[in-house]
Amino acid sequence: MKNWQERTALMLGKTKMEKLKHAHVLVVGLGGVGAYAAEQLCRAGIGKLTIVDGDVVEMTNRNRQLPALISNQGQSKAEIMGQRFRDINPDIELHVINEYLKDERMIEVLEEARYDYVVDAIDTLSPKVFLIYHSKQLGLPIVSSMGAGGKLDPSLVQVSDIAKSFNCKLARMLRKRLYKLGIRKGVKVVFSPEEVEKERVKLEEGQNKKSTVGTISYMPPLFGCFCSSVVIRDLLEK
């Protein structure tokens, strides 16, 4: 009888498959980047996943996000992805956290299990800084996704130390915040140095003057795949 992981085992071999089976990965953020990262980890055979997101599917998610369909609009992204992962691998140990993590709660989640890797797919700056900082404090390996919005060229996506990232507004703001916390390097990031054309950004009116950045279907998933590849390759090298 064939095993659903037969093709992966052919690629990696039994010993490395066992490494992935016994690994525990935390993925925070299940939007355009994080949902794809988490699913690739699940399909690769990661034995234990903790997935976190307090958001629900919205109409505008459908152009790029894995969980987003007309039929599940308004439903929890974390719960949707949890169902998918159990349908892919019924044996997976899965912990679904349907909430936004911040402050003490984030520390609590980071300390409640022995994670072998952390994937940061948060798109809000403060909790992103918090996750990276406390992961580093706890000695947890982490890969962080920078901004995929406004980017169009997939050939420019790359993995680098955060100190070497450039032409990315999110990375610039993140570096500044982390520098104040004493972190200047030692964080792997997925980013693209592609310049964002001003026509791809819509400035919103209102008190906070937030902007909406355009996205194309394939770029956030690509960032997610890069994140999952970093995790898998690093775990296999241990």
Kindly report, residue by residue over 14-55, the tens digit of the pLDDT. 999 999 999 999 999 999 999 999 999 999 999 999 999 999
Q: What domain range includes position 216?
A: 6-237
Mean pLDDT of 225-237: 99
CA–CA gap between residue 234 and residue 217 (Å, rounded): 27
- Res 207 pLDDT > 50: no
Is 117 a residue whose pLDDT tops 70?
yes
User: How many domains does the structure of the chain reveal?
Assistant: 1
What is the percent of the chain with per-residue pLDDT over 90, rounded to a whole number?
A: 93
- The CATH number for 153's domain is 3.40.50.720
Residue 141 lies in a domain: yes
> Is the pLDDT higher at 184 or at 1?
184
Is residue 23 in a domain?
yes
- pLDDT exceeds 70 at position 205: no
Check whether 56 has a pLDDT greater than 70: yes
78 within some domain: yes
Q: Is residue 1 part of a domain?
A: no
Question: Mean of the per-residue pLDDT values for the chain?
Answer: 96
Identify whether 194 is part of a domain. yes
Question: Cα-Cα-Cα-Cα dihedral of 223, 226, 231, 232, to 10°?
Answer: 140
Evaluate if residue 208 carries a pLDDT over 90.
no
pLDDT for residue 144 is more than 80: yes
pLDDT at 206: 53
Q: How many CB atoms lie within 10 A of CB 9?
A: 13
171 part of a folded domain: yes
Alpha helices (runs of H) in the chain, residue ranges in sequence order: 6-12, 14-21, 34-44, 77-88, 103-111, 125-137, 169-180, 219-237
Mean pLDDT, range 211-224, rounded to an integer: 96
What is the mean pLDDT of the segment spanning 102-125?
96
The pTM of the full predicted model, rounded to 2 decimals, is: 0.96
Does residue 216 lie within any of the structural domains? yes
Q: What is the pLDDT of residue 134?
A: 97
Per-residue model confidence (pLDDT) at position 22 = 98
| CA separation, residue 163 to residues 87, 113, 146, 222 (Å) | 39, 29, 13, 22
Note whether residue 132 is domain-resident.
yes
pLDDT of residue 203: 80
Residue 170 has pLDDT above 70, yes or no: yes
